[in-house]
């Protein structure tokens, strides 16, 4: 695999260890970096090791989001064949837009990855907001160094599951002194700080803690714009005998610095424009066997939580107490030392490189290939587990479970029904009470979060559906035969034997107008609105209408696609959640189809007896989908078409059909999402905690 990695911060030699380990594992990784970049307040010049494939490029601008590379080296590099472009820059950065523009001009379709550490929900001005959304929308993967950044990139348009990958540390350098004893209870406490000497880093808070706790001796490593002010502050507070400034340290000296401490303080503050995005110094100290006390701010709880102490940001008294009490309790100090070291091993360069290798593998999955593997010989059998989301109707559930007997099954019950639980016990399947009516997508995610067979494909089965003999095997064989498929569904029939349409194109504003005008069948652009002819297996050249996705009443999801795309969007309550999942998978290069050799019986809407509520959920699902994938303007266009169609039908049609059209017109005027929120609030099942 050939990887082009673009990262302005690769000027730091230690931070290129990931690439070196990937090359050692057999990958061909070339890095483009800035020639010189400011890191931790100091200019760092790129110095490649002998034979190291890293190129320093001139840059214009100094802000990480507002600089540009010299385009000429990028242009030359992008002219080569690469399997993946690892663009280790923020989605909103000008450098990201520059690289993607050159990629487009080069007419390259190489999948690319992005990186984000931004964990503040900022509204970026134009054009940065649009550039970020476009970059995220078409990325094959995103790595983030904290969970909040992952949530934000999804909200801003990334269709898949961001991978939280820590910033790496070298275990050969940052290692504990095995002979180090705990501090003496009641004795002096040597506290270290490493990082930029700037106001938002909270060094002032640490100085105040030292005033309150006379046993503390502080060693401050680093440099920055506030160094002179902090030195004056030390004198003002009478701390000159207990505070030393050791300056900026190289990697080896920094490891020795940590090992000479009793505890490290990371007192970072929360500001309007900044919070801690990772906390590499905390990981380095834990790798050296030194306990950490950090602010409960930004990403620090993710890094330190459970392996160190957290205190409120800006609370000097709490910080001072924590620093002293840890060192007065040898048992706690030893426990934090052991737990911190174990946590740090998740961030070694070896662990980080392995996570990136997996990210690259997912980015270049066959769904991105120009030619699919359709028609290839099946590989070994794929494991399958079943997730059923139930809401009452135990009599139907028993029938559904019988059709998948012998497979590992989890039933997620959104109703908390004792009858549903009894059916599960009788069928010998696992029962999970979700604790609330989470909707279909939320229920599926409960099952996905607690897998019976991690790594297996997942069969979603409605309680009102029954798989015919051999259907699961046929679906699984199709996934095995075509590595570009994210999901497959069977043909479906209702109780009368009439075939129901299973495969559909994705909804769009234009299709809403076409359907509203009643010409969808004539144009072959119908999207999912009701029963119709089955879509066949949906493959080109087989006489079947092209489909974009298969409905979720019976649907087999590929494990690798789930890993890359993630679970269902829980904003969708009851309809269109599988449409959204399929669309996100398609944006990541996957395909979906219907397997003609597999069939199922589906008693449509059998779990819902309230037609008005069902129509509300359906319309709300469509609105949510169109807003998400086509914006507010797209929904406005679609809604106007729906209103026109409903108004015409309300005038022309008589009887029940006319009444239904008038009801739909009222729903559209209210707004389906608004109507659904009112409906859900009126019927919400109180959440209960598991015993």
Confidence at residue 4, expressed as pLDDT on a 0 to 100 scale = 98
Question: Is 656 a domain residue?
Answer: yes
* Same domain (yes/no): 327, 308: yes
Query: Which range of residues forms the domain containing residue 672?
Result: 611-683
* Same domain (yes/no): 643, 565: no
Under 8 Å between Cβ of 387 and 397: no
* Same domain (yes/no): 389, 327: no
39 dihedral zone (left: phi>0; alpha: psi -120 to 50; beta): beta
Mean pLDDT per 10-residue segment, the chain (691 residues) = 97 95 98 92 91 98 95 98 97 97 96 96 88 97 96 96 96 95 96 96 98 98 95 97 95 96 97 91 98 96 92 98 97 97 96 97 74 45 95 94 97 96 97 94 97 97 96 96 96 92 94 80 45 37 63 96 96 93 97 96 69 89 96 95 92 92 93 89 55 40
Question: Is 178 a domain residue?
Answer: no
* Same domain (yes/no): 224, 105: no
Q: Is 274 exposed, middle or buried (0-12, 13-18, 19+ CB in 10 A)?
A: middle
Report the CATH number that the domain containing residue 287 is assigned in CATH: 3.40.50.2000
Indicate the number of domains in the chain.
Answer: 4
* Same domain (yes/no): 130, 71: yes
pLDDT tens by residue, 278-335: 999 999 999 999 999 999 999 999 999 889 999 999 999 999 999 999 999 999 999 9
Report the CATH number that the domain containing residue 449 is assigned in CATH: 3.90.550.10
Question: Is 373 a domain residue?
Answer: no
Question: Is 337 a domain residue?
Answer: yes
Confidence at residue 519, expressed as pLDDT on a 0 to 100 scale = 66
642 SS3 class: helix
Question: Is 690 a domain residue?
Answer: no
pLDDT tens by residue, 74-89: 999 999 999 999 999 9
> What is the spatial distance between Cα 493 and Cα 534, in angstroms, rounded to a whole number?
9
How far is the first Cα of the chain from the last one, in angstroms, to the nearest whole number?
Answer: 49
* Same domain (yes/no): 424, 526: yes
pLDDT tens by residue, 497-509: 999 999 999 999 9
Question: Is 141 a domain residue?
Answer: yes
* Same domain (yes/no): 423, 511: yes
* Same domain (yes/no): 442, 578: yes
Question: Is 174 a domain residue?
Answer: no
* Same domain (yes/no): 296, 327: yes
Select from 316, 344, 372 the last residue of a domain.
344
* Same domain (yes/no): 416, 504: yes
* Same domain (yes/no): 229, 158: no
Select from 289, 313, 344 the last residue of a domain.
344
* Same domain (yes/no): 596, 625: no
Enter the tokens of residue 497. 């034997």
Confidence at residue 516, expressed as pLDDT on a 0 to 100 scale = 81
Cα dihedral 14/201/147/590 (nearest 10): -50
DSSP letter, residue 524: T
Integer CA distances (angstroms), 670 to 522, 665, 667, in order: 31, 9, 5
Task: Write the DSSP string, 652-678.
Answer: H--HHHHHHHHHHHHHHHH-HHHHHHH
Question: Is 504 a domain residue?
Answer: yes
């Amino acid at each position: 695999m050939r990887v082009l990695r673009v990262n302005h911060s690769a000027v730091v030699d230690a931070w290129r260890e990931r690439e070196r380990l990937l090359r050692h594992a057999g990958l061909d990784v070339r890095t483009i970096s800035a020639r010189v970049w400011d890191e931790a307040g100091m200019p760092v010049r790129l110095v490649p090791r002998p034979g190291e494939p890293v190129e320093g490029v001139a840059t214009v601008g100094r802000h990480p989001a507002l600089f540009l590379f010299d385009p000429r080296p990028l242009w030359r590099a992008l002219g080569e064949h690469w399997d993946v472009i690892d663009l280790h820059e923020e989605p909103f950065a000008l450098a990201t837009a520059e690289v993607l523009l050159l990629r487009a001009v080069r007419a390259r379709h190489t999948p690319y990855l992005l990186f984000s550490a931004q964990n503040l929900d900022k509204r970026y001005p134009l054009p940065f907001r649009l550039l970020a959304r476009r970059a995220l929308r078409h990325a094959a993967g995103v790595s983030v160094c904290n969970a909040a950044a992952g949530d934000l990139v999804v909200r801003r348009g990334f269709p898949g599951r961001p991978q939280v990958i820590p910033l790496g540390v070298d275990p050969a350098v940052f290692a504990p002194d095995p002979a180090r004893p705990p501090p003496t209870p009641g004795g002096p406490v040597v506290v270290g700080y490493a990082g930029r000497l700037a106001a938002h880093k909270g060094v002032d808070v640490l100085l105040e803690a030292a005033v309150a706790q006379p046993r503390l001796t502080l060693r401050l490593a680093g440099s920055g714009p506030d160094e002179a002010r902090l030195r004056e502050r030390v004198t003002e507070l009478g701390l000159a005998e207990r505070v030393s400034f050791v300056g900026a340290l190289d990697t080896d000296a920094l490891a020795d610095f940590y090992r000479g401490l009793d505890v490290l303080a990371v007192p970072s503050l929360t500001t309007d424009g900044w919070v801690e995005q990772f906390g590499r110094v905390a990981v380095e100290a834990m790798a050296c066997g030194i306990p950490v006390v950090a602010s409960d701010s930004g990403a620090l709880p993710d890094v330190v939580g459970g392996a160190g102490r957290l205190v409120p940001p800006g609370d000097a008294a709490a910080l001072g107490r924590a620093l002293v009490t840890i060192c007065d309790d040898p048992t706690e100090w030893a426990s934090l030392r052991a737990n911190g070291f174990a946590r740090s091993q998740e961030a070694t360069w070896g662990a980080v490189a392995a996570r990136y290798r997996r990210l690259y593998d997912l980015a270049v999955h066959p769904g991105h290939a120009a030619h699919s593997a359709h028609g290839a010989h099946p590989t070994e059998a794929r494991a399958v587990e079943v997730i059923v989301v139930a809401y009452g109707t135990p009599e139907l559930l028993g029938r559904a479970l019988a059709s998948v007997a012998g497979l590992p099954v989890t039933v997620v019950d959104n109703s908390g029904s004792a009858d549903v639980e009894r059916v599960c016990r009788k069928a010998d399947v696992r029962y999970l009470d979700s604790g609330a009516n989470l909707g279909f997508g939320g229920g599926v995610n409960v099952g996905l979060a607690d897998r019976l067979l991690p790594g297996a494909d997942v069969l979603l089965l409605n309680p009102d559906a029954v798989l015919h003999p051999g259907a699961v095997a046929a679906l699984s064989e199709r996934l095995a035969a075509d590595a570009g498929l994210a999901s497959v569904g069977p043909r479906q029939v209702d109780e009368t034997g009439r075939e129901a349409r299973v495969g559909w194109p994705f909804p769009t504003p234009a299709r809403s107008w076409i359907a509203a005008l009643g010409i969808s069948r004539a144009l072959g652009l119908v999207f999912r609105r009701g029963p119709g002819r089955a879509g066949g297996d949906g493959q080109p050249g087989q006489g079947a209408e092209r489909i974009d996705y298969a409905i979720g009443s019976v649907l087999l999801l590929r494990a690798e696609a789930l890993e890359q795309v993630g679970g269902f969007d829980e904003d969708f309550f009851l309809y269109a959640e599988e449409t959204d999942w399929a669309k996100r998978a398609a944006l990541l290069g996957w395909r979906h189809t219907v397997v003609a050799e597999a069939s199922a019986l589906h008693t449509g809407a059998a779990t819902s007896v309230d037609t008005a509520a069902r129509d509300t959920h359906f319309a709300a699902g469509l609105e949510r989908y169109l807003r998400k994938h086509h914006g507010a303007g797209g929904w406005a266009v679609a809604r106007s078409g729906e209103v026109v169609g409903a108004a015409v039908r309300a005038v022309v049609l008589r009887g029940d059909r006319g009444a239904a059209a008038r009801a739909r017109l009222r729903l559209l005027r209210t707004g389906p999402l608004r109507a659904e929120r009112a409906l859900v609030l009126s019927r919400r099942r109180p959440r209960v905690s598991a015993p």
